[in-house]
Structure 1
């Protein structure tokens, strides 16, 4: 999977100024972590967001949003948003606010234990 610099820029704009944020290559794309916990990732097939178990139903109702599937199994609380759906600035912001809220509720991971 190739990186999508345009999607990466959109995500960067949405998370600009967030405390505890790190970023780097992951899963064939680019990923963002908050205090060591994975927040989201971007690559050519869309944006992966971590909303948390039980927090993703509202997002899954939107066109272009699907559950994240890893090795054939859906991952509860994780969604993949198609690039076209993430292009809606208001929707993308709402998704990111929800993801940040969930990830900030998690205990920070110690350096080296990710």
Structure 2
């Protein structure tokens, strides 16, 4: 599955001035901070790492659905459909959620 380049560029723009890395994997463009994936673009959807504690609450938000690995939900990650990040503020809010989650994890390599 290819990722939407326009969405990827919007995420990149929202991260200007921050320390992050990009990595292509699982057919997606993933964004990493401190060695942890915090967001990504899968197809047209925005993938966000919210953590297991915030997972159920995130799924109650409009235009949010579980991220599946095969047929099983990847608990801790959600997919936000384009209507859920149509504005730059909404996109930045989701990206910030992912960043805040990984800020609480120990840095990797």
Task: Identify whether the pair has TM-score above 0.5, normalized to the shorter chain.
Answer: yes
User: What is the 5 A alignment of 1:67-86?
Assistant: 67-86=66-85
List alignment gaps of at least 5 residues for structure 1: none
Secondary structure, counterpart of 1:96 in structure 2: helix
Cα shift at 1:52:
0.7
Residue-pair matches, total:
109
Distance in 2, matches of 1:56 and 1:95, equals: 13
Structure 1: distance between partners of 2:32 and 2:80: 18
Residue 8 of structure 2 corresponds to 8
Task: Report runs of 4+ in structure 1 exceeding 3 Å deviation.
Answer: none
Cα deviation, residue 56, structure 1: 2.9
SS at match of 2:52: coil
What is the match of residue 31 of structure 1? Answer: 30
Whether 1:87 aligns to 2:91 is no
RMSD (Å), alpha carbons: 1.5
User: 2:65 is matched with which residue?
Assistant: 66
Offset at 1:103? 0.7
Q: TM-score, normalised by structure 1?
A: 0.85
> 2 CA distance for matches of 1:97 and 1:36?
16
More helix as a share of residues: 2
Q: Distance in 2 between matches of 1:90 and 1:60?
A: 19
Q: How far 1:38 moved relative to its partner?
A: 0.8
Question: What SS class does the counterpart of residue 13 from structure 1 fall into?
Answer: helix
